[in-house]
Amino acid sequence: MVRNLMMWLLALLLTVASAYYQRKTGPTYPRAGQADLDGSLIQYKLLRSYDRGDQPVVLQAPDPAVNAVLVYRRLNSRDDWTHKRMSRQGNALISSLPHQPAGGKLEYYLKVEKGLDSLRIPADGRITTRFKGAVPAWALLPHILLMFAAMLLSTRTALAAITGSRRLRAYVWWTVGLLIFGGMIFGPLVQKFAFGDLWTGFPFGYDLTDNKTLIVLISWLWALWAIYKSPHPKRWILIAAAATLVVFIIPHSLFGTELDYRQTPASR
């Protein structure tokens, strides 16, 4: 009993750590930080994904002498840069990026000024944000919970294979079931609401999130087959679990759906 509980706690710890790493390093995680301009503190948290109309852009700059300009254009387009002065509301400087169709991306940066001094945020270039459709909670929440549970069961199954648990076959079935429901049923529903297509991975496209899900599911279906047919099923279970870990620490939404602005008119 104690050993089983310890195995579940270890699996949970590994799953939470990998999920946190995936989220933190993903291309949609907000870019946050602070800067100093001639003695004035400026704090920011700039979004890189949005689904509710125009995307707000906010700087915390209590010094009233500080002003800022939002500079943006559509990604991979022939557009000129648009310059939009930010307005002050109390301690904050506020502006917004115009809403884009699902999959549309804007690249932007901020030029912050105080007297004759100025700085650029981010200092190392610009930020890319992607717009998407709103996903209802009844589709998004089960998808997130089921995929997290699948990651947890994958890790627990690997530990069961290592320690020789009698529940190994049941763990494999649970892992496959969670992947099917979370990744192949609710996953496409989330994709449909967000970007208009149920599936944009192989063989229809190159969406990395869809392809990651497909690779993991195939790995675990092979492990399920091995449980009944292979003389060395644990080997295939460990391979499937390792593939799951590698695949799921790849940042989420990397190489995701992107609108091709080269086929649309220039923005105004």
Fold annotation for 38-131: Immunoglobulin-like (2.60.40)
Query: What are the residue boundaries of the structural domains of the chain, listed by start?
Result: 2-26+135-249, 38-131
Taking only the tens place, the pLDDT of each residue in 5-16 is: 999 999 999 999
Average pLDDT over residues 142-153: 96
Structure tokens at 61: 């700059």
Residue 255's pLDDT band, with cuts at 50, 70 and 90, is low
Q: DSSP states of 103-143 as a string?
A: T-EEEEEEEEEETTEEEEESTTS-EEEEE-----HHHHHHH
pLDDT band of 201, cuts 50, 70, 90: confident
The whole-angstrom separation of Cα 169 and Cα 136 is 35
Provide, rounded to the nearest whole percent, the portion of the chain with pLDDT above 70. 95
Q: At what angle do helices 208-229 and 233-249 cross, to 10 degrees?
A: 170
* Nearest by Cα to 90 from 70, 68, 130, 61: 61
On the question of pLDDT at 133 being above 80, the answer is yes
Backbone angles phi, psi at 73, to 5 degrees: -160, 165
Confidence of residue 30 (pLDDT cuts 50, 70, 90): very high
Residue 97 in 3-state DSSP? strand
Lowest mean pLDDT segment, chosen from 97-101, 202-206, 242-246, 254-258: 254-258
Q: Are 38 and 27 in contact (CB under 8 A)?
A: no
> Among 189-198, 212-221, 251-260, which is the least confidently predicted range?
251-260
214-252: pLDDT as tens digits: 999 999 999 999 999 998 999 999 999 999 998 888 876
What is the rounded average pLDDT of the residues 165-174?
93
Residue 265 has pLDDT above 70, yes or no: no
Per-residue model confidence as pLDDT tens digits over 78-114 = 899 999 999 999 999 999 999 999 999 999 999 999 9
- Sort 46 into a burial class: Cβ within 10 Å, 0-12 / 13-18 / 19+: buried
Mean of the per-residue pLDDT values of the chain: 91
The whole-number pLDDT of residue 70 equals 98
Using pLDDT thresholds of 50, 70 and 90, give the confidence band for residue 268.
very low
- Tens digits of per-residue pLDDT, 184-193? 999 999 999 9
Q: DSSP labels for 173-222?
A: HHHHHHHIIIIIIHHHHHHHHHHS-S--STTT---HHHHHHHHHHHHHHH
pLDDT at 75: 93
Q: With bands split at pLDDT 50, 70 and 90, how would you rate the model's confidence at 168?
A: very high
pLDDT at 164 over 90: no
